[in-house]
Amino acid sequence: MENSFDIVVIGSGPGGYTAAIRAAQLGFKTAIIEKYSNLGGTCTNVGCIPSKALLDSSENYHAAKTKFANQGIEVGSLKLNFQQMYLRKSEVVKQNVSGINYLMKKNKIEIIYGTASFLSNNELSVKAADGSVNSVRSKYFIVATGSKPSSIPGVEIDKNRIITSTEALSLSAKPETIVIIGGGVIGVEMASIFARIGVKVTIIEYADSLIPTMDKELGKELQKVLTKTGITVLVSQKVQSAKNNGESVTVKYLDASSAEKEISAEYCLVAVGRKSYTEGLGLENTKIELDPKGRIKTDAQLRTAEENVYAIGDVIEGAMLAHKAEEEGVLAVEVIHGEKPHINYNLIPGVVYTWPEVASVGYTEEQLKEKGIAYNKGKFPFSASGRARASGDTEGFSKVLTDPKYGEILGVHIIGARAADIIAQSVVSMEFEVTDSALGKISYAHPTYSETLKDAYLIASGSGALNI
């Protein structure tokens, strides 16, 4: 094994493997180190990809059950094969892992399997699964070790009955009931998967709305939609404890009036957030510092307190999103290469893959109010869209927030069919400072869900919507 490189990336998630590819493209002799036997990190193995595979399968099943008959499609007796659904999910993960292996090979990146630990700022020890230890030296390092699920006091994750998304994505049989602590992105996505296939799901959320970090109106609309799917949504409730009773879990919580309540289910899924992962990294052998939340501290160029060590993705401050990690991976390498790259963090979109989907970029209405920034608001319902009526996806709205004087787009918040794809247009508009009136004038293909944005822009710019 080679043991001296220009750039060594620790961790093969979306941040790490993207950084490695960019480094190789720029001519650096590059290695990537991964402690698990599969490349791809959280996103590919136990995050974005498997959850989306199950979200799609469960949505197809749910649509066959609830939408098909009305459209004249009779499927006879519908049956769910839970094991096959999960098997397909594993196949999708496998295909993605092998895609990353291919990219490493194509770019001549050395893959080193093992757990990396700093011995100094230019040397690592790498312990392989068989216990052997090798030393790896490099001019530069990029730490991309990601994050792990976290919990709250009184709730100890035992991976048996009190589980995280990782275990929920690998169940061997369909449960009858599940309680989900946390109504954030992961909580509502997992709730959707299970509710659609007939599991009785309860979400307990501490804040007063679901997806509380996003624009409030999105959370309220999502709550209506999820409730219709049969999910019980409890907001403003504080979980006190979760107890594994063997075959079930009892969760105790305080309701909005501080009365003690309890609920039992087969599983309790803890989805209260994730914490940066730096365990065993040997940071004590370097000058690298952590912030009070345990995240690696970096400057704007993602450099740590060691000049030659960079950190990216979930292990540092910011949104825990795969595409944020990827952008940072490219940025760190380009900084090392002597370039002056830039990331506009305000324009990193956030997406929730429920159905309808939720997608957002820029400021929320609450943030604009808090900052005292004046704004115009244009909001257009999917129920008035021909495309949405045609597909039977009439829930949701597109909402745009724009500057009253110059028409600059300040924020876009969509809950509706294909919102995850539509939001790309908003990111481009905001990056290149297109105005609301310009966006109301350009042609949108008819009928498309994106036309809801056109009308929202027409409202915000004062021209008035054409379709409502």
CA 374 remoteness from chain centre: 30
Rank residues 357 and 436 by Cβ distance to ligand FAD and give the closer one.
357
Pairing between β-strand 133-143 and β-strand 309-311 as defined by DSSP bridges: parallel
CB 135 within 8 A of CB 119: yes
Rank residues 43 and 336 by Cβ distance to ligand FAD and give the closer one.
43
In whole angstroms, the minimum distance from the beta carbon of 313 to ligand FAD comes to 2
In whole angstroms, the minimum distance from the beta carbon of 51 to ligand FAD comes to 4
Give one DSSP letter per residue of 176-227, joined into a string: SEEEEE--SHHHHHHHHHHHHTT-EEEEE-SSSSSSTTS-HHHHHHHHHHHH
Closest CA to 303 of 140, 118, 147, 137: 140
Binding site for ligand FAD (CB under 6 A): 10-16, 33-36, 41-43, 47-48, 51, 115-116, 144-147, 165, 186, 277, 280-281, 313-315, 320-323, 325, 353
H/E element, 333: helix 322-336
Closest CA to 452 of 435, 438, 439: 439
CA–CA distance, 307 with 315 (Å, rounded to integer):
18
Rank residues 18 and 385 by Cβ distance to ligand FAD and give the closer one.
18
In whole angstroms, the minimum distance from the beta carbon of 275 to ligand FAD comes to 11
Q: Is the dihedral of CA 250, 254, 256, 257 positive or negative?
A: positive
Rank residues 276 and 385 by Cβ distance to ligand FAD and give the closer one.
276
Rank residues 188 and 321 by Cβ distance to ligand FAD and give the closer one.
321
Active site residues: 446
In whole angstroms, the minimum distance from the beta carbon of 348 to ligand FAD comes to 9
CB 181 within 8 A of CB 239: yes
Q: HSE (CB half, 13 Å, CA atoms) of 413? A: 25
- Pull the structure tokens for residue 24: 């190789």
In whole angstroms, the minimum distance from the beta carbon of 322 to ligand FAD comes to 4
